[in-house]
Structure 1
């Protein structure tokens, strides 16, 4: 299908001076040809197109016969590039005619852009509008029976594995001819097209499309959604992005959005080469002011394509420029009315950062209607009061099949392939036998090793059938004992049935599932095509494979087959703590239950901080990362952002800021110096969240109430914190218990880490709070039960009469933690 764009327009010098600046991409291979011209053509000294009329032997043009012509009557606004043409007349009978070609040396093998410019005009003896011909790239047919009566630019993206790139023109009839006005050949940026994570959008399928970079792609549409036309001068790859107005199916459903701030490329999954600033700074969002529409509706676009049933690559560009805080925007993506991506949360995909660009690739088969439909709309996770969806850009590329498009594949080629196939088949069979022998040997070694190992993280799953191998990048780091096959996970989640989705996190969707031995598990699947998640994936495996604690969620295993990144955890029946505080139909927890949950989470966090010489800093403590099992035992989860603490001779770790808004340590945010006190701050926010049953950040509230910690501390300083306690528990809390709890939370949220208690101090005080609740006075908050213990102050633990749940067994944690105690499972045999 033709991609009609006015690529080169009469550029004004003023526009050149005022265009948006960017860091130019410099391709290794860069050939710009002005076909048929006698001299080189330059546009404001930015891009210089070389004449192809050089002396024989020094030109890229390889042909016995061709004609160069100039437009005898060029329009006043016609670009110089389109005022000359190279014509390739037929050389006799079509059977004996050999194509005329351009050949370009390739110094950097890999993905390349190829743009062919066609601008027909009338010339003596030749009417370019009547030409009909074929175009081949390295022997592959990319254009068949092509003709045009207007300016057309054909763009192809493909991998070049040869040392020479050849573009050939072959007239369709013996009396016909072909032509070309200009050619662009240049290297694409690294990873512009990658093989991992592209989702194949087919009904009732969760397949991943493989080997995308090996396909020949033809650009059909490139759209700047919600913005103005982007010309080549404002794009590092000299692309043109058209406006989306004429493709909107219901204009009243969409409203333009824009930002004056450049995209945050450092935190996003895209670069300026993927799409320019102008694409990510504009968008279409839901027009919720349209009173004629229902509360929930979709924004839909229809893009004309060929009516044939062929595959297309659909690349969607996103940048959240409409939200005021993270985790506020949830939406679904539909392609051809099929749900292609459920519950997209751009802030979690981009490490909890707003306005960070991201693109997601899908491969979809056209339905024969001649229209490709793309829709975005709010998900079930959306807040009904602020349900929204957005889209920043769309690219549609037709996938050409290199194998079926090969020209000249006669009997000789068939014989060659038969021979090659036979050799490859024999080699693969031999390789398979060798692998079988190696697997048997490795299995024996693993059995011996497991018998001599004193403790392994998840040894009870070692015997699961068809579940462990010893290959892959993660396995090479020593974690092969935790590997689970994709087939087992796929079967255990009913092929990732959307009805089994129990949550959406920063890494991807979480499914409820079971393994072959009927063990219930939670399966966290990385987002296909997001280009994010590998650091979190490795971090979770590295940390959770080495530690085990009653109050830390256990890692059952992982999978990295078929371009998948999947983590499998023990299943937590009651879900996240947040769902038992507000925003769900769950019954609210009692005050005693909330205290026990806080104590359990504090124990898990205390073990992280003290369980090794450096300790582990979680960096993302929040109510959604504290999970509850069937008995409401709390366990800390999601270690994707965790990292080792400072060494013994250091006070902090210097690192980029990661975390969730509302829970983020202000000192860490200002100084980018991470300590375990950053987790203490986040935990303090959770304590207020438990007490008040409202989000850490709620932008819908008045300004002084938006930030929970700041708001609660103001009421605490006024001595009126009881006025904002969750009404569900207000009559359950003894004043002395509330006083101690509030003081603990306030100390945790101190502006500076040095003023905050350690998590061990917090744990001691929370156990004290529970003791006060169960044995303290009913109505006298002024009884002296001790202030919040300052860091390093000696004190006695709560009485043994407390009903607080105690750790035992492999936890290694006794019921009472004194300031002098430092417990480590990782450093002592008792801990294992």
Structure 2
């Protein structure tokens, strides 16, 4: 199969009001939802203008509770309401709500574990019940939020009919000085969304079903597979659910995403099952059927052991219309849930959504974290027309056990976190006892000992904020490595750090100031190879013959200790071919120095203009862009946490002596959002000309901010002009604005670097510019991911490579024999994808060697990078 002769996928990642209307049933109508802003006298409205009321009139035994206001406000809070006020319970206290005795209900609890006047949040442990159902037990919102790096927590439950006209929600504090609290409560009537015959995998048919109608459950994960975050205000049925991107849970082989421009006809399926935008987006496998037949698509979830989980799959086929065109297997923890899944066989046509529920029990395996693996694989035995899978949405619910319990344990600090806590505590108290007495006992024991761990976490958190500059009395030039007298010289070994993590220190070499001066000839100006926001960069030599780049901080620079620490913390944990490697650092006196691998070819910017040291060909530019995209894609998806670079530009893309591109300068980088946030709220930093306008307006940072900046880089490479050029006419000063304006006028070709004119294939030019323009979309939701940008760049490179091969050695027309093409509408991305999947099934066992065609999809096939 010759992929070069077939248009590859250009991905659409935006939701548009111009999409065709949804054919919907009459919306479910129940009692109005209840939203309580706990501890508030007047309620108020949240950031989405949703009304919240006071909780006071629903309280029973109100004398055991007090209203309070948080002492601090985290920047990442999505809204003041309901998080800045709290109801604090000093004794067992309840809320009483009138309900319909025959209806299911959704209840959501919102927790913001800040400190409140006269209350230390690390002392808060409590139980939450509703009737005979235990929702939370020995719950510490503080420990949970710290372990998950979240500012606030939301716990959502779906509860069966109570057979009563009222329900009681009870908060009971733990022992001693403990207290309970809650910031917000939602109570929403839920329509009939569950069946009484959900299949239980791994169990004989006679006992292999779960009654979802009568089950009480907690929603653990709710994902818009292949799509973007859907906020509560865009949910269907008035249920105010949040649907998250599934990318953080992907594991293994690469996939592609689709947006279908099609009418959604719910037919007998309740519209409240999922919003239409869930069914308009989907994830499927890559374009090579040979790879698809040998790989799975897998999602992995961390869960609580000793519970049964109900997994709901949302499907909607919007291109195929016949049975046995796409057939696949569904497995939960390697147990088959269904092996002949065929969406058309289930629904009877395109644009008709359906959902399927399967359940699995996950027991306790000593020493192993409880995980739920959801796996899909094309069914080879039935020889479908297309070897592929499709999934639109995924939900995971934890079912209550035989004791009507839904409560899991508080997170246990990892070994690395325990070690870091001990060492940081020891730095302040050298007489501190052993680790077992401080942390390990607390991790395994009850609430009292865990409280010690919480106190340590709390102290470190406060201390970390002081060091980072949030304490007005702190100077930005405090030592980050400890007393300079304790530092080693040439050994590279290091002693305790006061601000750097142990992991970072162990992974980096410590250089003495004498070594640095010797390497740079005492910071000789003739050794300067660049100047940035942090300071000057010198070319140096260490250990006799190892070439390095030495970045020396300028005390008058706006960047200081924060950027220094961030760079070390980030790069010490990252190793990737397309990220500049940090060798070590020096912090002595008033000097802060970072030592990197030396990049012999300098910055990408140097080879585009500013004298054009070397004129890069179009393919060389593509190679560099692909390398940079791989580095950024790894940061967004391959590291342990999402990392947002925040300063992507051509001066931060370097090339080594072999022209391998590497992303550099992580001083402004931030750890990305988690699953209760779709952004990080932070002070705007970056470089003008590359700065995401949405980030600038809202101060809400996402990985799509990097995508915007990379879109500017793409046009900079294509046009060989700076991102900002004040000497040009007003409409051309900003490269991004000029590119968008030229696209509207149809004059993009006029912007191209004269060195490249006539040297880019029209098909490659269109793919490249379409992708670049989508990166510059004003709203982050409309931008592609870095993985999709990478895919497009590799397909552009493939087009140019094939064009060269065709000119030099034309291929025989017979090379495409055996491929049956689906008629292609230029706007139909799904048809393009399916053309690449179709095979002559008579030759099913004669696999082509996929290596050549798969090479261009290397980063997608292995998206974790390492």
Q: TM-score normalised by the shorter chain: which range applies?
A: 0.3 to 0.5
Structure 1 or 2, whichever has the larger Rg, is 1
**Which structure is higher in RCO with an 8 Å CA cutoff and minimum separation 6?**
2
